[in-house]
């Protein structure tokens, strides 16, 4: 596992309930601000094995970008944590998590 992947996993695991982070934000904190798509790949391939709260990750506009029934699961999971959605959109001003320090 690369240092970047390990950092991404730690950052995602530390997102508290009721908060979200963006793919780009996670990539930047993990040390590679241009690797948002790599964060997507890590989430897709490692969420189950590492029990990641994948539903707490959205795009830079706060949009839920997953398709099919996973989108519904993500929406329900976020709502169960108290996050109010407007359609498929999370208000980043209100719900974005900003960790105090870089991992």
Q: pLDDT confidence of 65, banded at 50, 70, 90?
A: confident
Residues 95 and 61: their CA atoms lie apart, in Å, by: 12
* Contact (CB, 8 A) for 45 and 60: no
pLDDT, tens digit, 9 for 90 and up, residues 24-63: 999 999 999 999 999 999 988 998 889 999 999 999 999 9
Residue with more model confidence, 11 or 44: 11
Q: Tell me the C-alpha distance between 76 and 50, whole Å.
A: 21
- Range 2-10 average pLDDT: 95
Paired tokens of 72: 């519904």
Instruction: Print burial letters for 86-98: b (CB count within 10 Å at least 16), e (below 16).
Output: eeeebebeebbbe
């Amino acid at each position: 596992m690369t240092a970047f992947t390990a950092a991404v996993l730690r950052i995602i695991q530390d997102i508290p309930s009721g908060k979200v982070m963006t793919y780009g934000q996670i990539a930047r904190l993990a040390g590679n601000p241009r690797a948002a798509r790599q964060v997507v790949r890590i989430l897709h391939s490692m969420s189950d094995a590492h029990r990641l709260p994948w539903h707490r990750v959205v795009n830079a506009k706060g949009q839920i970008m997953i398709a099919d029934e996973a989108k519904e699961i993500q929406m329900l999971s976020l709502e169960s944590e108290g996050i109010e959605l407007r359609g498929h959109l999370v208000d980043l001003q209100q719900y974005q998590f900003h960790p105090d320090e870089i991992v």
